Structure 1
């Protein structure tokens, strides 16, 4: 029996890229949910035209958008087996979704991170502060928890019932690291899959600004230290 797979895509002003992202998602996905995070362009229209379910979350924040998608799924009669989170900027390769979910389907792994490894990463696709931030966060998780993560990549898959057990709460930049920390605390089985990564379409709302970079860094380190001394 094929697993039910649903994809949640938080998107803020991604009108140029969102159609490409949706078009490249494999056909074994049952539903693509785009959560427009207070977009002021044609993101919602373009996502709907590409065949996605479109939700609107007016509170700005990556976590707010992800939680909106989860709340929508929670109200559905038939629940999915796997949830995939994917960005709407076309920096990831959506067709690699089959690789992200394979460890869950074939090996009963709970949680899979798409790792943006250097050898598959387009030049300039990650800023120096992103590279350093990922290294620091995963290094600290290794020191405090013995974790084997190498990335905080947003392209990730998790069993739906395991996701619910994490009781996710971060509303903004700390969403990805919160998920990984809670997965470690709850002893979920996890693995990473090397992913290709390219320069995004448009300008990043986080790493593309000094303010966004600082806020993201503070959030990520805050979650790590919060869990390290619990």
Structure 2
């Protein structure tokens, strides 16, 4: 079993598609971060484990999901239908040692943290201001993309002692992992236009707020 953490704030329109495409053996953990559109009820109706995190913030939701997870391997991905859960097995495949019966390449590549490198399927999927902000931060972290779809082993993630509870959480994970000598790999995943209204990258203000959070992490980690 693999746990998949999906931070969620008002994603009622996207959740049915996301949850029905979850691969076998992957348990969705939807972390409701204060939704008012019935997201939690929809997630439960589709068989997800629902965790309620009242403290607002992307990192707060992600970390609540990590603490609720019990599987050896934990994945993270957005709940807005911009990423396809069908891509998760390829991300997991590249982890060091892999799963029983995994592809031999998993041992050869030996990744401790795998990130899905987003490949937009259309111009609308990734607004220019969001792509530029991501590129600037990702370059500082030694990556091509600070992808939100990722996988690692649960106990090692907990050992990173992540403290950011805002948009800097994904970056802090990468920086602390690199500081501890983790092997980090990227693999291509399709990036679709999100369903519903974006709270972050869909607006210039949201993107600037996320970049500010990440800059703070760069200065402190």
Residue 193 of structure 1: how far off its partner (Å): 0.6
Gaps of 5+ in 2: 99-105
Match of 2:186 in 1: 192
Of 206-215 and 5-14, more deviation after overlay is shown by: 206-215
1:137 paired to 2:103: no
Match of 1:113 in 2: 115
CA RMSD of aligned residues (A): 1.3
1:9 paired to 2:11: no
Match of 1:151 in 2: 145
Q: TM-score scaled by structure 2?
A: 0.91
Q: CA–CA distance in 2 between the matches of 1:133 and 1:140?
A: 11
Match of 1:50 in 2: 46
| Aligned with residue 20 of structure 2, among 23, 28, 32 | 23
Q: TM-score scaled by structure 1?
A: 0.87
Q: May I ask how many residue pairs the two structures share in their alignment? A: 210
> Matches of residues 56-135 of structure 1 in structure 2 within 5 Å?
56-73=52-69, 79-104=70-95, 105=98, 106-107=106-107, 108-117=110-119, 120-135=120-135
Gaps of 5+ in 1: 74-78, 142-146
Corresponding residue SS for 1:112:
strand
Contact 2:66 2:74 (C-alpha < 8 Å) held by counterparts: no
Q: CA–CA distance in 2 between the matches of 1:59 and 1:160?
A: 22
Residue 59 of structure 1: how far off its partner (Å): 1.5
Q: CA–CA distance in 1 between the matches of 2:78 and 2:168?
A: 15
Q: CA–CA distance in 2 between the matches of 1:28 and 1:109?
A: 21
Q: CA–CA distance in 2 between the matches of 1:168 and 1:133?
A: 22
Corresponding residue SS for 1:124:
helix
1:203 paired to 2:168: no
Match of 2:206 in 1: 212
Residue 226 of structure 1: how far off its partner (Å): 2.5
Q: CA–CA distance in 2 between the matches of 1:121 and 1:65?
A: 27
